[in-house]
Amino acid sequence: MTEQTAPKTGPLHIGPHDEIPADPGHATALTGTQRLAIYLILVAAFVVILNETILGVALTPIMDELRIDPATGQWLLTAFMLTMAIVIPLSGFLLQRFTTRQVFLAAIGLFALGTLTAAIAPGFELLLVGRILQASGTGVMMPMLMTTVMTLVPPHERGKMMGNISIVIAVAPALGPTVSGLILDAFHWRAIFWLVLPIAVGALVLGAIKLPNVTETRKISVDALSIVLSALAFGGLIFGLSELARVAEGAELAVPPWIVIVVGALALAGFVLRQIQLQAKDRALIDLRVFLAPGFRNGVILMAALMAVMFGSIILLPIYAQKAAGLDTLATGLALLPGGLLMGFAGPIVGRLYDRLGPRPLVVPGVSIVALALWGMSWLFIEGAPMYVIIGLHVVLSIGLALTFTPLFTSSLGAVQPRLYSYASAAVGTAQQLAGAAGTALFIVIYTIAAAAIAGGGAPESAVVAVGTHAAFFWAAVAGTALVPIAFLVKRPESELEGAPATH
């Protein structure tokens, strides 16, 4: 049985080691200390999540220097995703059991240690350890940020704050390849880690000095079987999907990916049954009652699908730009920069519009714009397409995504009970990782199958890549069009309409 600890009471001046009682249903504004907590976590989250995609462009020079083959080098990306898949489901328990300050210091500390380890790694093995440590800290950061915002921010201001968070959710991974390309154009690949390390250490020191505790803790135990099933389920599915993409690219693997995917799916079924059994006793690793709220359920479906589109585009656009449009690495990074910056600038604006209009007037046009952008990429990404076409369509796609992420995150989390915020954040983060892996795998598989159909006929590589790109974005456009009706189901949570906690 779990036990709720009594809220701390103390002096009027709240210090960094005191908990800040939060009542978002009745609060009218954030205090300065609460804003400090949110923005400190926000900056740290941006830095750590940027690292999820920043290493992709650097793989080639890393493999050349360390003398490893692509199958081995790919583990620097795969291990990061696998670690995230295992850690994120644990975040719900960690955020319930430990204070915000404790979780933040542990997460950013692990990330800083991993960054230093990767920067000084003499070989592949230690570099891989560094990436795993980085991912261990990264996996907790995003659920902690969303839980803190939902706990502290009054409902009528959540859209504005979630708009800032969308910079982390969407812009950080989208900017990863661009930042990496700019760094590699002037420095050694280790500079990627050396430039990030001072920021991580600075966040660690500032957090140790200034970060307050903003949530209450509960003495809850963790179910060992749930952890094992979670690791097998989410780790197996993401690893299997990643390996499926590698098989499509021609890699020969000892274990067929479909076996790993089946094991992951069976473990997921066991995980779900175990959580249903435990949630009645308040001991679930992820309380699945969050999915009983239609607003949360519909929002997660849309978010997962759009995240798959975003990550699939991140992996495929650089391939097309370099091999079919003839751009170099730096030009490719710069071509994707306007869209990423636009998402960052648009986030706070969309957040304010959400507070005024609610989610549906933003999500419906946003999903429609995403579908139109995908149709445009399917039709216009031909052999030798000019750079302005790539930039223009990527900007249109970014506008559509910017209109959807903030409203979906805000309305989804607002649809669940406040005591379930940490579990809802963990569920959203897990769905993001699964969707990102699925999107990457599906884009690459469709691309490879279509490209292979004409590769043997003597067609130039640019034409082969263009055909594969057309096929991937065509089916993505079909799926994007099918999401439009679901967008009409999104609505403003009752807690925002009535100024009271959600009842679902």
pLDDT tens across 169-182, in order?
Answer: 667 776 777 777 78
Span 74-98, average pLDDT? 81
Which CA distances in Å does 348 have to 360, 387, 407? 17, 29, 11
Q: Which of residues 113 and 52 earns the better pLDDT score?
A: 113
Residue 93: the pLDDT is: 79
What is the DSSP code string of 226-294? HHHHHIIIIIHHHHHHHHHHHHHTT---SS-HHHHHHHHHHHHHHHHHHHHHHHTTT--SS-GGGGGSH
Judge whether residue 437 has pLDDT over 80.
no
Structure tokens given for 413: 């989390």
Residue 21: what pLDDT? Answer: 44
pLDDT at residue 4 greater than cutoff 60: no
Buried b / exposed e across 373-408, counting CB within 10 Å, b at 16+? bbbbbbeebebebeeebbbbbbbbbbbbbbbbbbbb
> Does 229 have pLDDT greater than 80?
yes
* pLDDT reported for residue 182: 80
**E strand or H helix at 475, and its extent?**
helix 461-487
Structure tokens, 325: 């449009």
Predicted local confidence at residue 34, as pLDDT: 78
**Alpha carbon distances (Å) from 190 to 47, 176, 203, 278, 440:** 16, 15, 21, 45, 26
- In this prediction, residues 33-38 reach a mean pLDDT of 79
Q: Are 166 and 402 in contact (CB under 8 A)?
A: yes
pLDDT greater at residue 473 or residue 250? 473
Mean pLDDT of the chain: 81
Pairwise pLDDT comparison (28 vs 440), residue with the higher score? 440
Minimum mean pLDDT among 12-21, 210-219, 271-280, 307-316: which range?
12-21
Pick the more confident residue, 456 or 341. Answer: 341
Give the model confidence (pLDDT) of 242-277 as tens digits: 777 677 666 677 788 889 999 999 999 999 999 898
pLDDT tens figures, 339-380: 878 887 887 888 889 888 889 999 999 999 999 999 999 999
Residue 72: the pLDDT is: 75
Strands 218-219 and 3-4: antiparallel
Region 273-295: mean pLDDT is 86
At 500, is the pLDDT very low, low, confident or very high (cuts 50, 70, 90)?
Answer: very low
Of 20-24, 44-48, 303-307, the poorest mean pLDDT is in 20-24
DSSP letter at 6 equals P
Comparing 264 with 504, the larger pLDDT belongs to 264
pLDDT at 410 over 60: yes
Tokens of 465: 């890549």
Residue 495 neighbours by CB distance under 10 Å: 22
Among 27-31, 134-138, 172-176, whose mean pLDDT is lowest? 27-31
Of 60-74, 146-160, 310-324, 490-504, the poorest mean pLDDT is in 490-504
pLDDT band at 399 (very low <50, low <70, confident <90, very high): very high
**Which pLDDT band holds residue 387 (cuts at 50, 70, 90)?**
confident
The architecture CATH gives domain 31-498 = Up-down Bundle (1.20)
Residue 420 is predicted with a pLDDT of 81
With 60 as the cut, is the pLDDT of residue 503 above it? no
pLDDT of res. 48? 83
Task: Name the more confident of 459 and 109.
Answer: 109
